[in-house]
Structure formats: C-alpha cells, structure tokens
Copies of this chain bind each other. A is one copy, B any other.
Amino acid sequence: MPNEEMVVTPWKVSGEIDYEKLIQEFGTQPITDELLEKIKKHTGELHLQLRRRIFFSHRDLDWILDMYEAGHRFVLYTGRGPSGPVHIGHLVPWIFTKHLQDVFGAKLYFQMTDDEKFLIHPEFTLERTNRIAYDNALDVIATGFDPKRTFIIMDSEQGGILYRLAVQVAKRITFSTVKAVFGFEESSNIGIIFFPAVQAVPCFIESAITGENTPCLIPAAIDQDPYWRVTRDAAPKLGYYKPAQIHCKFLPGLGKGGKMSASLPETCIFTTDPPEVVDRKIWNAFTGGRPTAREQRLHGGDPSICPIYYYYYYLFEDDDSKMKNLAEDCRNGEILCGECKLKLAERVKRFLAEHQRRREEARNRIEEYKFKEP
C-alpha cells in the first residue's frame, strides 16, 4: 500500500493518504490547539471529531468564528454525490455537521448532486441518480438534522434559483481554471465542465434569498476541496464572502490497508446492512492484530493500521481514556482481535438499529426537508 500513489480528487480517493501533505498541496490550514480553544468557547466540550483531529484542516474557520462572535450568523453547507448507498463513512461529516447545527443554531443547505453523478458516470441515467438521491436523503434525515433549519437541494429538480446563481458563478470561471483544478479535458462533457458552478451555489443561496451577505461554513471530506477553491475565487467578484471550510479525513474501510470501495461491499458497512451482515463484515475485517492469539499475546497488535480500531476512534468510542486503554491493550497483547471485533459489532448494530428506525420514519418527511425556492 505505501507504494500506491496518493490520489485525492472529488471523484477518486486512493493510495495511502498523507493528510499533512494534503494540507500543503491544497494550501489549507491545519486545525491548531489555539483554534480548538476558540471553538470550545462556543461548543463547550469539543466534539470527538475535533478532539481527535478527524476534522484536521480548514480555510477561514478562524474568520467565521470572529464573524460569529461579532454577531454574524453563518450557514452550513455540505452534500452528497448520490451514486450508491450510504455507508458509515459518509455519516462521519454529517454527524459533525449536525453537531455544528446544534451548537451554532445554523441553517444547513445540503446539496444532492444527482446531476454530477449522472454527468460523471457514463452508464447512469438521471432517473437513477435522482432515485439514489431520494434514498440517500433518508440517511441525511436519519442523522437528526433540524427539519426547520435544514434544506436539501435536489439539483436535478431545483427551481430556477440553482441555475440562475450557477450562471453567475460560471461567468467568473474559465475552462482553463477547471482544467487545471479538476483535470477536465477536451473530451470532457460540457455538463461536468459547468458543474463546479452548480456545486458553488449553496454557498451563496442564503445571501441571494435574504439579500444579506451571509458567511458559509462547509464541513466536508477534504477531497471536495477543489470545488471550494474555484468557488472562493469567484465569491468576491459576486459580492459574496468566500465560503469557509473545515475538512475531515476518510473513515478507513474494512479491507487491508484501510481500503474502502463501493465495488467491494465487504469493505464498508452500509446504513441499511442487517445485523448478520454487520457481524460478518466486521468478523472478516482486516486488523492490526497477529495471525494467532498466541502471537498477539506475545507481540501485541498495531492499532495504527487497524480498521476496527479506527471505527471506535471515528465513531464508536467517545471516551478518550477508554480509547487510549484500547490502543495500549492492543499493543500489549492484552486484547485479542476477536473480542475487539465482537464489541464493535454490538455497537455498530445498536447504532444501525436506531439509524434504520429513523431512516424508515424519514420516508414521509423528505418533502419537509426539501429546499423550496422562496
């Protein structure tokens, strides 16, 4: 794996991810202790994903907090490219976004880019990606966002405001720029070439509706950063604030080397997986442990390469001291992989039972969450 070249684009993430290097390459800022202190003033106890630097990088997060302290509310914006079912890794930034919505009382614009997924995948129809968008919306709603302050934008259905704002952004972005930033080529279709303007729209939708320039904070995985680079360039030309961002890491998959791939369903736990599938996937997962119990007891395991460990770390063990103990016990050979897996499986199943219950309830509530042009 370490030899596999790191690729992080909005459409492909592969190889071993070096997050420090991404900060340098993308030109973002690391989340410092000082910044965490600033956040803590507003949120009280820091969220797990901040304490553990799962959200590790940002642009202008300090600025948006200054604005907030000066009395300017901000809106949140995140989204989903609906190409298939939602897995637990997708929930990571959503859970954090819900936390931000709760503590800052912020509106959330959630964009479902069924247009993008249609334009990128040669074999997909728009009906298909739109159907997936509705399915994925159930997971968004099940995450627990406030229905009064959450607006799901279904790109392919959206009223004129989406296109109207998109052309305004588009006029400020050239083909050279999107070629350089996204690697588009002469053979790229003109829909995907235009799409960066569409993905920019939710940053400005609140400002456009209210007529008041409103800061926007985007919590999302770092692979989406290229979109915000072009959006940030266009923003001042449109009279809007540049959107601030906070970037998270990727939840490793259950395969060797943390590989997670939609084409390898055993490497990820989908939100609709039944308990026996969760048991099986976790039981079969690659770990940082030794081949035999004897060796594990003798030499200990390596949590730093263990997907099971990362599942606890990202989502399923909120207590930092317990987390620390788990890592030590593993390294000292005081816990075996089987035990660790069984405990995780119980927690994942408990989490999914609740998520699936809310997901079913969400079926009748999609309209309530959908953004409607005022």
- Residue numbers of A with Cβ under 8 A of B are 115, 118-119, 126, 155-160, 162-164, 166-168, 170-176, 178-179, 184-194, 196-197
Bound form: Cα–Cα A155–B166 in Å: 12
A-B contact pairs, 21 of them (CB 8 A): A115-B167, A118-B168, A118-B171, A156-B163, A156-B164, A157-B164, A158-B160, A159-B159, A159-B160, A167-B191, A170-B194, A173-B191, A174-B188, A175-B189, A175-B193, A178-B190, A190-B193, A190-B194, A190-B196, A191-B197, A193-B194
The number of times this chain is found in the oligomer is 2
Is there an interface contact between A174 and B156, defined as CB atoms closer than 8 Å? no
Q: Which residues in B have their C-beta under 8 angstroms from that of A156?
A: 160, 163-164, 167
Collect the chain B residues with CB atoms within 8 Å of residue A197's CB: 190-191
Is the beta-carbon distance between A176 and B167 smaller than 8 angstroms? no
* Nearest CB in chain B: distance from A179 CB, A: 7
The answer to whether A126 and B190 have CB atoms under 8 Å apart is no
Q: Which 6 A-B residue pairings sit nearest by Cβ, starting from the closest?
A: A170-B191, A194-B194, A176-B186, A157-B160, A163-B163, A167-B191
Q: Is the CB of A164 within 8 A of B126?
A: yes
* Minimal Cβ-Cβ distance residue in B for A173: B190
With beta carbons under 8 angstroms apart, the residue of B115, B160, B186, B194 that contacts A191 is B194
A168, A176, A189, A190 interface centre (most CB from chain B within 10 Å): A190
Asked if B174 contacts A186 (CB within 8 A), the reply is yes
Q: List the B residue with the shortest CB-CB distance to A161.
A: B157
How near does chain B come to A137, taking the closest CB pair, in angstroms? 16
Pick from B160, B162, B187, B196: contact of A174, CB under 8 Å: B187
Report chain B residues within 8 Å CB of A168.
Answer: 118, 126
